[in-house]
Structure 1
């Protein structure tokens, strides 16, 4: 039998007889394979690092120094953040340390730009800083001189500044984002703006001062932005009239334009539209017109009800979220008709979400009583977020072909509930014939809620799922009582054999 010691000796002898690794292999292992990669691939690797780390690689060798000088994507947002800086600079109690940090960050951007080879192009330049207008212009001119394709600027200044005109004349720029944190910037005359941006595909402007030129009717047109695909406008102070007809526009976002009176959108290729917190609620001559045959997603939230609404050709609308801002419950007859026209304009959508005030307009307002809506024949999903009372059933009856219905709270009277709901069968017939999924949030397991569940199960002929999300009050009840209520609900008769009840 071979002992352990003899076995170890055999292994040791065998290892001494192995051929030595050639010096050529050692040389091969010491090769710098990363440095031998093409510049384009190394640039893609470096882009994953913060800008400071990328700059430090320039000291490794002459090869890496050339890489830094030719690096096309400069993102200085990792060096300085404007959020804290702008707050610090606008405060009366600015500490010297904070001021030094902000200025140091902007000077760092200048220093890096001067190091770039004069013949190198910049693909992307992003920075956030507190800057003077002269320093901002210097940075923009440098970027344009190096044929920048994407320029992302987020700045705060000590005073209003003018839009950098060197950007307008750029022939390389494709993407532009300019945001002012404080206090804002002015646009040049529209004649000057219309002469540039011929190759721009994406534009975002935030905090623009337009008191001297409240109308942008002739700016966003085919002649000014022939290739624009994405447009984001936010906080345009003083803007009253806006018309957008860019032929290739696909994504449009408009936010916080509270003084807006007239909005006209006529774009054949538009696919996504978002309008948030716009229109003057006190206006008596506000209007909106949307003509977008390829629109797929519409987000219309917290906007004041306009006097006139014209939405047409929205045949491909897939998702729509609608919310209105009301200063008071009672609408004028004109604005009630405008709400009706707006909802009728989106009647081809497949998924619809209505916010709480929208349901209140449909249900509680007497001036809406004689207004009818177009049927939502293509609707597959409908969600409500509402404090619901039984007088809101008229609002539900107006939106037929309902498939999904969420609620937050039910406040029903304590007597005659079953008779009341049975009396509403005719008004809710279309609703009940298309209802497939019901989700009741805040289910209290009280008699009123149970009566409603019984009514839905009895008359919803195509119901597939009924979700009952119990509230904390209900969960605190005695478990035996809760089980008794559940057993009672499970025993209710069902118009649909596929109806499934789920307790959450």
Structure 2
């Protein structure tokens, strides 16, 4: 068989080839552009780009420190974006570490924003904090934003507005004072929010959104003072944190599924009974409830005022014999419609 008969792949419809190329790592997909003019043109319309400097430098130990290696990575990203020109793009993923030029990162992000990107994954682990470009905060096409590590939002102004954003994932992201309060109203259709190990500047925060349906909060330092949940249409909550000093608002009336892992710091033990009661009373309408060992121990502090979980049908308790079992009898009595009980360690 001659080479033309063997090259059945090139005879596939252009749309199929572009879809296949978008499933490959960007470095491999870009290499096809040297095969022929047709392949170069096809790669220009690949709607998804994924750049990770650790993949680019793999597998040699210490390769990152070698002269020119990081420069070659940055040049590669520049060439790929230049090759694509102004063609539309759907997803852009970037994961880089110290050594990559932040100014170039800004240009790459602005490039895909101008081309109507709808999904952004941006994780920068620099020695110094990196502020996400202001242009992200006013994107009219962005549907999903995931970002984190050494990232902050300090360059975002009060005019931020993300009318299409439905999913927001922030991990170890820094907020300026009052920024979080301005962010949620700027996302009118936001449905899913993840806040992981955030760097708060305000001690008292209100999470207020009428569109939000899924929420995950995870923290390891318990630095917040008061925290309010004003999310009346939330259906899923995963809350992993220290008990706040107070929960002034707990508006979770449509909650369906909740997982709670809360712990107490020594300075908050005296007021824990009232604070825990506010939180637990706010989730009383849930149908599915998963409780961690630490939560079960904290829950025992307010067992005398346990609310009735009239909608609860599934209860999953992970505990050990020494932690909080005195709350079990009252908790079960206050779940009149419970159908399934799971006990684990």
Q: TM tier, shorter chain?
A: 0.7 to 0.9
Task: Report what 2:148 is aligned to.
Answer: 179
Larger-Rg structure: 1
Query: What CA distance in whole angstroms lies between the structure 1 residues aligned with 2:182 and 2:250?
Result: 21
CA contact 2:137–2:162 (8 Å) conserved in 1 = yes
Bigger shift: residues 94-103 or 227-236: 94-103
Task: Report what 2:332 is aligned to.
Answer: 400
Query: What CA distance in whole angstroms lies between the structure 2 residues aligned with 1:143 and 1:279?
Result: 35
Task: Report what 2:162 is aligned to.
Answer: 197
The structure 2 residue matched to 1:220, chosen from 172, 181, 184, is 184
Matches within 5 A, 1:26-175: 30=5, 33-77=8-52, 80-81=54-55, 97-98=65-66, 100-116=68-84, 118-130=85-97, 131-175=100-144
CA contact 1:372–1:398 (8 Å) conserved in 2 = no
Deviation at 1:399, TM superposition (A): 0.8
CA contact 1:277–1:304 (8 Å) conserved in 2 = no
Query: What CA distance in whole angstroms lies between the structure 1 residues aligned with 2:142 and 2:325?
Result: 54
Task: Report what 1:376 is aligned to.
Answer: 309
* Residue-by-residue CA offset, 1:306-350 (whole Å, 9 max, x unaligned): 3235423524x3322222221239821x33112112212222222
Deviation at 1:239, TM superposition (A): 2.9
TM-score, normalised via structure 2 length? 0.81
Query: What CA distance in whole angstroms lies between the structure 1 residues aligned with 2:231 and 2:149?
Result: 31
CA contact 1:169–1:196 (8 Å) conserved in 2 = yes
Query: What CA distance in whole angstroms lies between the structure 1 residues aligned with 2:155 and 2:169?
Result: 16
Task: Report what 1:23 is aligned to.
Answer: none
Gaps of 5+ in 1: 1-25, 89-93, 241-260, 404-429, 442-504
Does 2:234 align with 1:295?
Answer: yes
TM-score, normalised via structure 1 length? 0.58
Query: What CA distance in whole angstroms lies between the structure 1 residues aligned with 2:123 and 2:279?
Result: 36
Gaps of 5+ in 2: none
Query: What CA distance in whole angstroms lies between the structure 2 residues aligned with 1:288 and 1:100?
Result: 48
Query: What CA distance in whole angstroms lies between the structure 2 residues aligned with 1:292 and 1:167?
Result: 25
- The structure-2 alpha-carbon separation of the partners of 1:294 and 1:195, relative to structure 1 and needing over 3 Å to count, comes to closer
Does 2:280 align with 1:343?
Answer: yes
- The structure-2 alpha-carbon separation of the partners of 1:341 and 1:199, relative to structure 1 and needing over 3 Å to count, comes to closer
CA contact 1:287–1:309 (8 Å) conserved in 2 = yes
Does 2:216 align with 1:274?
Answer: yes
Query: What CA distance in whole angstroms lies between the structure 2 residues aligned with 1:83 and 1:397?
Result: 57
Deviation at 1:33, TM superposition (A): 5.0
Higher relative contact order, structure no. (Cα contacts within 8 Å, ≥ 6 residues apart): 2
Task: Report what 1:457 is aligned to.
Answer: none
Does 2:252 align with 1:320?
Answer: no
Query: What CA distance in whole angstroms lies between the structure 2 residues aligned with 1:95 and 1:47?
Result: 28
Query: What CA distance in whole angstroms lies between the structure 2 residues aligned with 1:137 and 1:156?
Result: 15
Deviation at 1:204, TM superposition (A): 3.2
Deviation at 1:386, TM superposition (A): 2.8
